[in-house]
Chains A and B, each alone.
Chain A
Amino acid sequence: MNQWAFVVGAYALTFFATGLISALSWRAMRVSEGRARQVADRS
């Protein structure tokens, strides 16, 4: 049993999931703050 296959799998899963939540949270923040600025400018 190649132990490195398990190690690489665990790290790949962790970094993929962490990257995904970071990107989604950053995008949600940018989109919401951008929209809030637009609405504030309009009113």
Chain B
Amino acid sequence: MHRFANPARFLQIARPLTGWLFWSGLLLLLIGSGCGLFLTPADYLQGDTVRILYIHVPAAWLGMAGWSGIAIAALMQLVWRHPLAAVAGRAIAVPGALFTAICLLTGSIWGRPTWGTWWEWDGRMTSMLVLFFLYLGYIALAHASARQGSGGVSPVAAIFGLVGAVNIPIINRSVVWWNSLHQGPSITLRGSSIDTTLLWPLGLTLLGFTLLFGGIVLMRMRAILAHNKIEARMQRLARG
């Protein structure tokens, strides 16, 4: 990992990778969504609302994966002082928060015709809402440390990122630990309870959204690194 600690070496890889991740992700996402909307049959119980699954599940995955990324970046920042870790943490925060919000909103839209309610204070939905608030707190802390002149995030924000990771297993196990309107885990290591005629487009949208997310994070990392470069040069010029 320390091989990529040099921003110049990182940018050599990130520049071509950004476009590849973004465009391949977008293509897979569009194909998967098109197939999910028009090729798969309606569910015998949920009807056509089951099609929301193809965007809701990837959004939930990215919300949780995003915070896991922040926690790993925080660990690398605090333990190994990896110079790009703080930049990565800051770059993940806004897209992570956005996909958590998409997960909450699409879940709510799915819940109205399926459960008869927009919202229920059950374990899964509440813990996901807590994740969204954690993101907002992290973004505020990261923004404050950026204004103080640090390129990435402060150690306080990194510690917040690590502590907030405790919510990830709670979200994952919430449907097992508490009685919930939300269904139990549909996809596990042992297999899936979703029929394959409905399941296959989910693989496409999951991969598509993940690649797209990677592309967006790289764009934001490149923006932060370029901004840091400007700041450093301006300070050098000011000193004469």
Interface residues of A (CB under 8 A from B): 1, 3-4, 6-7, 9-11, 13-14, 17-18, 21-22, 25-26, 28-29, 31-33, 35-36, 39-40, 43
Contacts and interface: CB of A to CB of B under 8 A. Distances in A.
Contact of B230 (A11, A13, A35): A35
B165 to A, nearest CB: 23
Given A21-B95, A33-B222, A36-B227, 4 more contacts: A7-B52, A14-B59, A36-B230, A43-B233
A4 B113 CA distance: 10
Interface of B: 18, 22, 33, 37, 47-49, 51-52, 55-56, 59, 94-95, 98, 101-102, 105-106, 109-110, 112-113, 209, 212, 215-216, 219-220, 222-224, 226-227, 229-230, 233-234, 236-237
A39 B237 CA distance: 10
B237 A10 contact: no
B58 to A, nearest CB: 9
Contact of B212 (A11, A18, A29, A39): A18
Contacts of B101: 17
Contact of A32 (B59, B102, B222, B237): B222
Contacts of A40: 229, 233
A25 B56 CA distance: 22
Contacts of B56: 10
A25 B219 contact: yes
Given A3-B49, A10-B106, A11-B33, A36 B212 contact: no
Contacts of A9: 109
A37 to B, nearest CB: 9
A7 B50 CA distance: 8
Contacts of B209: 18
B223 A28 contact: yes
Given A7-B48, A29-B219, A35 B37 contact: no
B223 A3 contact: no
Given A4-B48, A17-B102, A25-B216, A11 B55 contact: yes
Nearest to B236: A43
Contact of A43 (B48, B226, B237): B237
A32 B230 contact: yes
14 contacts: A3-B47, A6-B109, A10-B55, A11-B37, A13-B106, A14-B59, A14-B102, A17-B98, A18-B98, A18-B102, A22-B215, A29-B219, A36-B227, A40-B229
